[in-house]
């Protein structure tokens, strides 16, 4: 999904600043299934505003530049609904950590183990983020609750697999041990 559509989706929940949108993709409700960077969010918001899909208001702040708060317009909502009705692309997992682990035989074992431990810590962090109630669950829609539950299930499974197979992986890297299934 493109960044303008992701921005409109975030704004469909409530008006927000570009910073608020980025936080939703870093540690908020979208963090476990999509990403959008500052460098892509602000140009997308400017373009959406020029096209009439979002409207911005200025909110003064003391000793700081005014905050721009974006809201989805009716035109933007229609555009978002059209985008959401398109068949989604298939998911693609891209992970530098998994590339290193796949080719672990080419790096020193300690480095491969450090990558594995970092990958496990990353998944634990994501699971902990999902466990923290950001909003009242009863206010979430069925889709939001469903995707949240799937995220929890995926990260629980990843953590469980990584924990259960870490010792065998380390043993294989350091000269023996049973094959990992």
**pLDDT tens for each residue of the chain, 181 residues long:** 889 999 999 999 999 999 999 988 887 778 777 877 778 999 999 999 999 999 999 988 888 888 999 999 999 999 999 999 999 999 888 899 999 999 999 999 999 999 999 999 999 998 888 887 655 555 578 888 888 888 889 999 999 999 999 999 999 998 865 556 5
User: What gap in Å lies between CA 63 and CA 13, rounded to an integer?
Assistant: 29
Residue 16 per-residue DSSP state: B
Number of C-beta neighbours around residue 31 at 10 A = 16
User: What gap in Å lies between CA 114 and CA 10, rounded to an integer?
Assistant: 35
Task: State the maximum Cα–Cα separation within the chain, in Å, rounded to a whole number.
Answer: 64
What pLDDT, on the 0 to 100 scale, is given for residue 112? 95
What pLDDT, on the 0 to 100 scale, is given for residue 162? 97
What pLDDT, on the 0 to 100 scale, is given for residue 180? 60
**In CATH, which of 1.10.630.10, 3.40.50.720, 1.10.10.10, 3.30.70.20 is domain 3-84?**
1.10.10.10
Angstrom CA distances, 129 to 19, 32, 89, 142, stand at 18, 9, 26, 20
Angstrom CA distances, 135 to 10, 45, 73, 154, stand at 15, 25, 24, 21
- Domain ranges in the chain? 3-84, 96-173
What pLDDT, on the 0 to 100 scale, is given for residue 120? 97
pTM: 0.78
The alpha carbon of residue 38 and the mean position of all alpha carbons in its chain are separated, in whole angstroms, by 14
What pLDDT, on the 0 to 100 scale, is given for residue 64? 87
User: What gap in Å lies between CA 137 and CA 148, rounded to an integer?
Assistant: 10
């Amino acid at each position: 999904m493109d960044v303008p559509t992701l921005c409109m989706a975030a704004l469909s929940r409530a008006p927000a600043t570009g910073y608020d949108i980025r936080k939703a993709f870093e540690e908020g409700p979208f963090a476990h299934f999509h990403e959008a960077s500052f460098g892509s969010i602000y140009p997308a918001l400017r373009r959406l505003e020029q096209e009439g899909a979002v409207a911005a208001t200025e909110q003064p702040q003391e000793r700081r530049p005014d905050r721009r708060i974006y809201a989805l317009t009716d035109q933007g909502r229609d555009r978002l609904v059209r985008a959401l009705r398109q068949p989604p692309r298939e998911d693609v997992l891209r992970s530098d950590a998994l590339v290193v682990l796949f080719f672990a035989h080419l790096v020193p074992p300690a480095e491969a183990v450090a990558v594995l431990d970092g990958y496990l810590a990353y998944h634990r962090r994501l699971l902990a983020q999902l466990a923290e109630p950001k909003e009242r669950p009863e206010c979430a829609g069925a889709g939001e609750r469903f995707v949240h539950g799937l995220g929890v299930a995926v990260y629980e499974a990843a953590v469980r697999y990584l924990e259960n197979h870490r010792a065998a992986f380390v043993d294989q890297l350091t000269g023996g041990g049973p094959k990992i299934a």
